[in-house]
Amino acid sequence: MIPWRRLGEGRADGSGTLVLAERDGEYSICVGGQELMSSRAHGSEEAMAQLTLAAAAPRDGMRILVAGLGMGFTLRATLDAARPDAAVVVAELVPAVVEWNRGPLAELAARPLADPRVTVETVEVGRLLRSTRTRFDAILFDIDNGPAALTRPANQLLYGVQGLGLVRGALRTGGAFSVWSASASPEFERTLARAGFSDVAAHRAAARGAAGGPAHTIFLALAR
């Protein structure tokens, strides 16, 4: 078997060490020995972007926030679904992840960071939401393995009523909010409703798109 080749590591305050590795053209990012994402499977991330942009009220000059850069697949699908005049802000906490997406991972998702519509903020998304005056038409959370499977313990605050209320307040009327999750959570759906979101739904999406694979959950909710 071809061994994994370690390409780099990075971390930020309050998070574990992320390790980027490559084997025979396949890339993986792990933390604590557990795989967070792989270049083999990104169909559900692409489905999240498509669902979110389709649900958001269409406007000229839409502003979109993608929380979590990962391997760039969510951002690429967001750009593909967005209009040419859209502006997309990426909030990525770990600087090394941004560097990897400009280096060894750049071609995986056709260099989304090179798109002139994109601005990268190396910051925790909750801090960005508290400090910005911008209101968004769509916000996508791709930062954990779900509301109950966190890559960073402090992220728990984002998935409670108070944190979700912060997200709700950052959306324009008609805006859409989505959360990627490895598993379903009826409790989280109820929390979204308590935080003031409407039309809360959980969509199932295959990890590898048309090729199948495990089913992930995309939580989608609207700001009315």
**What pLDDT, on the 0 to 100 scale, is given for residue 149?**
74
Q: Which domain covers residue 81, as residue numbers? A: 41-222
Note whether residue 26 is domain-resident: no
Note whether residue 113 is domain-resident: yes
Note whether residue 16 is domain-resident: no
How many Å separate Cα 110 from the centre of its chain? 17
What CATH number has the domain bearing residue 54? 3.40.50.150
* C-alpha–C-alpha distance, residues 83 and 79, integer Å: 8
Note whether residue 36 is domain-resident: no
Note whether residue 5 is domain-resident: no
**What pLDDT, on the 0 to 100 scale, is given for residue 18?**
92
CA angle 177, 184, 43 (to 5 degrees): 70
**What pLDDT, on the 0 to 100 scale, is given for residue 14?**
64
N- to C-terminal Cα separation, the chain = 53
Q: Which residue ranges of the chain lie beneath pLDDT 50?
A: none
* C-alpha–C-alpha distance, residues 39 and 17, integer Å: 19
* C-alpha–C-alpha distance, residues 35 and 37, integer Å: 6
If you search the block for the tokens 């324009």, which residue do you land on?
A: 172
Q: How many domains does the chain have?
A: 1
Note whether residue 72 is domain-resident: yes
Note whether residue 145 is domain-resident: yes
Q: What crossing angle do the helices spanning 43-55 and 73-81 adopt, rounded to 10°?
A: 30
Note whether residue 97 is domain-resident: yes
